[in-house]
Amino acid sequence: MTRVLLIARRELSGYLRTLSGYVIIAVVLAVTGLLFNVEAVNRVQLSGQLLERFFYLASGTVMVASVFISMRLLAEERQAGTLALLYSSPVRDAEIVAGKFLSALAFLALLLACTVFMPALVLLNGKVSYGHVGVGYLGLLLLGSACLAVGTLGSALSRTQVLAGIVSGCLVVVLLLCWLLARVTEAPLSDVFGALALHGHHFQAFMSGLVHTRDVVYYLAVTFAALFAATRVLEARRWR
């Protein structure tokens, strides 16, 4: 665990020392704020509906941001030729993956904390439960965690950061399209595709301030499966 935390701290400082980390935060805040103003604030809605709209808009920017945050995790090491140093150190592949993932998750949590002022505006001008806000952010963090894990897998499969971003984006889009496939197919395929859908089926409850165990389990399962696959990819590349 100590080695995992050391890797996570090193990677997190890398986000905060470079310009790219602040650019991601600035772009996400600008896009989310603009969409929130244009699509939500300019429409007459109840406070609860306005908050649901915010979480819906934020979920889109979180998924895109997660791809950009995670694409450097392992691909950058391979591109810079420093992955061999990690292989030669007394650190297991699972610890490398876990440490890098935790650093990305911590950075995403920091990014989400910067968006709190938007639901705070709703709270100041209307009546919304704090539980609704907390559950919404829990959903964003779980959704982001799943996307970061998928991005970590894409980064492990790729030799460059650009290719990692493309691979990760395609994997996320495939999981998103499962919702559309669920609507055009018949049972039991529709049930399978619906259960695999990254956003359409599992995030809706969080937007409304509800926590369903199946949704939490789904996001944790996707996170674990993607990180497990990324670990196996590193192990396979180690012996090439």
Rounded mean pLDDT of the chain? 82
Report the candidate in 47, 206, 53 with the shortest Cα–Cα distance to residue 123: 47
Q: How far apart are CA 106 and CA 93, in angstroms?
A: 20
Angle at 161 between CA 31 and CA 155, to 5 degrees: 100
- Which residue would you say has higher pLDDT here, 204 or 38? 204
pLDDT of residue 148: 92
pLDDT of residue 225: 92
Report the candidate in 213, 198, 74 with the shortest Cα–Cα distance to residue 144: 198
pTM greater than the 0.85 cutoff? yes
Find the mean pLDDT for residues 132-157.
Answer: 90
pLDDT of residue 138: 93
| Predicted confidence (pLDDT) per residue in 53-102, tens digit | 888 888 989 999 999 888 888 777 676 666 666 666 677 878 888 888 99
Q: How many domains does the chain have?
A: 1
- In which band, very low, low, confident or very high, does the pLDDT at 44 lie, cut at 50, 70 and 90? low
59 contacts 203 by C-beta, under 8 angstroms: yes
On the question of pLDDT at 39 being above 90, the answer is no
Q: How far apart are CA 76 and CA 159, in angstroms?
A: 8
Residues of the domain holding 41: 2-238
Find the mean pLDDT for residues 38-42.
Answer: 66
| Predicted confidence (pLDDT) per residue in 181-227, tens digit | 777 777 777 777 777 888 877 888 888 888 889 889 999 999 999 99
pLDDT of residue 210: 86
Report the candidate in 46, 78, 216 with the shortest Cα–Cα distance to residue 155: 78
Q: How far apart are CA 99 and CA 93, in angstroms?
A: 10
Angle at 188 between CA 184 and CA 194, to 5 degrees: 60
Extract the tokens encoding 113.
């904390």
Q: Which residues contact 209 (CB under 8 A, 6 or more apart)?
A: 48, 51, 129, 131, 132, 135, 136
- Which residue would you say has higher pLDDT here, 41 or 186? 186
